[in-house]
Amino acid sequence: MKTRHSFSKGKRHDSSVITRQKRYIKKEKAKYPALAEKIVQMSDIILEVLDARFIRETRNLELEESIRKQNKKIIYVFNKADLIDIKKIKEEDIASLSPKVFVSCITRKGGKELRNKIKITSYTIKKPVDNSLNKITAGVIGYPNTGKSSIINLLVGKPSAGIGADAGFTKGIQKVNLTSDIVLIDSPGIIPDKEYSDSNRSAISRHTKVGARSYSQVKYPEMVVSDLMKEFSSVLEKHYSINAEGNSEILIEILGRKKGFLKKGNEVDEDKTARLILKDWQEGRIRK
Ligand SMILES: Nc1nc2c(ncn2[C@@H]2O[C@H](COP(=O)(O)OP(=O)(O)OP(=O)(O)O)[C@@H](O)[C@H]2O)c(=O)[nH]1
Ligand SMILES: [Mg+2]
């Protein structure tokens, strides 16, 4: 099963590659919600991987509802826990989510606990969906870029699933053995059907904020930086040591000059500067 696409990551693309990539993503996007539903059907246990920094924003309520209806077991995985102060998490955001595990694929914290939770949950399943192999299937689902493939590698203890900094890295489903009794399924990131839109500003900003839409692909990066500044101006200003009075245009102007991101006529390249801010944000360099 193909899990890596052929486009080089994090490098400059020529325009024909970008066009191909866009077409590809557009085509694939439409298929993913259906694929997510298929993974739920194929699984006995579902690991919903959420970004610990954005738990509310990365939950897929449509899919959670479907999991409940089909009486499947769910385990909530709060990944990227290295990027947050767990004590600052709002209790109301997580109280109802159980069982749950905080994990970091960087520090490997929570890996053992998650493995144990999967095993314990697997003992409660009398009749696995995949009765031909008599194995328990645990499907890993979640928003793009939350770390699904990284979680699989952490659980298995060796690189088994392809990972990448850009959202939309995993393209198909891939099965990986966890134990002789449990098989994991990696899946492409999913944005809930009714949220996916190319024209809804708040959805685009939210998806870029949580890394589900890549900084390199978002159409209007300045717009997203402006929305980020509404929520996180003090964090951003502190990170870049810039006093922008909460104004994204001032932040981009000063940062662009500092970095020497200039266009003809000595004007700041706003697109490039805004993308740099989004890159730093998505790659976890700016701490909330
Ligand atoms: N800081 C931090 N970064 C992480 C963690 N887990 C994954 N990442 C990073 O997040 C990015 C996405 O990781 P993937 O494992 O490819 O995420 P995914 O959910 O499989 O992504 P798609 O296949 O695109 O949906 C990569 O750059 C990882 O290195 C973590 O626990 N902490
Ligand atoms: Mg992946």
Q: What is the pLDDT of residue 73?
A: 97
Q: Do 35 and 154 share a domain, yes or no? A: yes
| Burial label, 129 (beta-carbon count in 10 A; 0-12, 13-18, 19+) | middle
Domain-located, residue 214: no
Domain-located, residue 30: yes
pLDDT digits over 177-192, tens only? 999 999 999 999 888 7
Q: Do 47 and 176 share a domain, yes or no? A: yes
Q: Do 184 and 231 share a domain, yes or no? A: no
- Residues found in the chain: 288
Q: Confirm or reject: Cβ of 211 under 6 Å from ligand 1.
A: no
Q: Confirm or reject: Cβ of 144 under 6 Å from ligand 1.
A: yes
Q: What is the mean pLDDT of residues 191-202?
A: 74
* Alpha carbon nearest to ligand 1 atom 29, residue: 165
Q: Do 180 and 230 share a domain, yes or no? A: no
Host domain of residue 251? 220-282
Q: Do 46 and 168 share a domain, yes or no? A: yes
Q: What is the pLDDT of residue 23?
A: 52
CA geometry: angle 10, 16, 19, nearest 5 deg:
80
Give the distance (Å) from ligand 2 centre to CA of residue 272: 26
> Total domain count for the chain?
2
Domain-located, residue 211: no
Tokens representing residue 66 in the block: 């479907």
Domain-located, residue 60: yes
Q: Do 159 and 23 share a domain, yes or no? A: yes
For residue 166, the ligand 1 atom closest to its alpha carbon is 24
Q: Do 184 and 227 share a domain, yes or no? A: no
Higher pLDDT residue, 74 or 174? 74
Q: Do 128 and 258 share a domain, yes or no? A: no
Say which ligand is closest to the CA of 166.
1
CA geometry: angle 163, 144, 182, nearest 5 deg:
65
* pTM reported for the whole predicted model: 0.83
Q: Do 244 and 185 share a domain, yes or no? A: no
Q: Do 251 and 151 share a domain, yes or no? A: no
Q: What is the pLDDT of residue 4?
A: 36
Q: Do 102 and 227 share a domain, yes or no? A: no
Residue 28: pLDDT band (50, 70, 90) is very low
Q: What is the pLDDT of residue 270?
A: 97
Q: What is the pLDDT of residue 15?
A: 54
Domain-located, residue 200: no
pLDDT digits over 43-70, tens only? 999 999 999 999 999 999 989 999 999 9
pLDDT at 285 over 80: yes
Say which ligand is closest to the CA of 145.
1
Q: What is the CATH number of the domain that holds 120?
A: 3.40.50.300
For residue 164, the ligand 1 atom closest to its alpha carbon is 16
Domain-located, residue 215: no
Span of 30-39, 116-125, 129-138, 238-247 with lowest mean pLDDT? 30-39
